[in-house]
Structure 1
Amino acid sequence: MGLSSIWTVLILSILLEHTLDTFTQDVDGDPGGDLNDLGVTFPSPEEIKPVEFVTANSTIITSQTGSKALLPCVISNIGDGMVSWIRRKDYHLLTVGVVTYSSDARFQVIHSQHSEDWTLQIKYVQTRDAGLYECQVSSHPPTSIFIQLIVVEAKAEISGPTEKYLKPGSGLRLQCTISQSTEPPLFVFWYHNNRMINYDADKGINVTTELPTKTSLLTINSAATRHSGNYSCVPSNAQPASTYVHILN
């Protein structure tokens, strides 16, 4: 702050103090007069409620890469306070009120008028988004809570060895399970040598997928040499898994 700015602040402070003194003298000089006579009322200390966070401090949120993370921050008695979200690892100001200050458009506050909810939404979560986030209210003094975001990378796993050996006519059973996933996939596709085979029942291949349990099962009742090759389980929201099947002559 330059010298001229300092003087400006001092002058304004003096003028404000003088105005308040004059106003007080005018009110006190009126016999029986007080601020209530002027229609000015102030809440009693009992009526002023402190800012209260409904969301628990140190809440942990787990989200998987590519999904949408929702970091809760519910506040009551906010009054005229302003809510800000700050990424603590680099003290980057993300949002103030409902305005996003970050150049990363994935960050957005979800808030409706008169609501106490100031949830921070992060779209298309990446591993670098993991860490501590601060939800702060500009009260006097400022008060805040911290939310920990854990980011996991979901992956598919096919049970058994990565290479399987079968005799012609044997049954083939491949079970794929999605681990470290915070939500079920929209779909699970199976590929044989880069060709999608979910609907190849006429070729003796059957696929059964249970999305809520994040599992998918591929079965072939009687394997033939044409069934040799690489099989891949590819969920919509997880890293794929592969296994190689050898049908021996």
Structure 2
Amino acid sequence: MLGDRSVMWMRGRDLHILTVGKVTYSADERFQIMHSHETDDWTLQIQYTQPRDAGAYKCQVNSDPKIVRNVYLTVTDKRFLDGQLYKMPPSTREQGEYGTHIVGGGTRFLQAGSSLALECVVTHTRAPPSAVLWYRDNNLLDYDSPRGGISLQVEKAGQQTTSRLLLSAVRETDSGNYTCVPVSVPVSAPTASVTVHVSTEDELRAAVQQGGLSGARCSLSGLDLRAVFLLVAVAWLVAGTLT
């Protein structure tokens, strides 16, 4: 008996409208609505759920009066053990089906205020990964991350999937270990990581100045040491002559 009314899903913590009817109003591709004309069910699907997805959700119909059903979601993430990202080791049969690497080496040094661009390439001999996730340390990075200023792009071509992560105006808190995690079922794909260091201009200037002073001290110490040896030698010669 829905008629011309619509079913809406809303997230409780920020009252963000996720779906209206069959349309999704979120840049986060993990959210989507599932509905079939054969049923009266309007199911909100959240793929690859994270602990931060936990909380209240509202299913609402724009009738008069409104019909609302509150749902509370609890998420237990078993991928984190002892504060580290847990990765299932690939079996012998699975090895070689996927390859993951981050372009540009394993360490990046940036000045605060610049942009960070990371590119993760996943090669696959069979089906491509269903998604490619990015983590900083143990924190998932996506459009709704508290940090903001995050852009994600995914490109699939043949047997290669490329995920690009862009962070604008980086700051010191953006330093850390960035991990690219391909999501594939049932095969476990390898991950790739890069360490990012962000320094302020004052820190860079201080490091340069400190290096110059240290070098001067080393040189001065060497001169003082040679002078001491020279004075000792002269004193010994004078003592010998007097004797």
- Report the TM-score when normalising by structure 1: 0.38
TM (normalized to structure 2)?
0.39
Instruction: Give the greater-gyration-radius structure (CA).
Output: 1
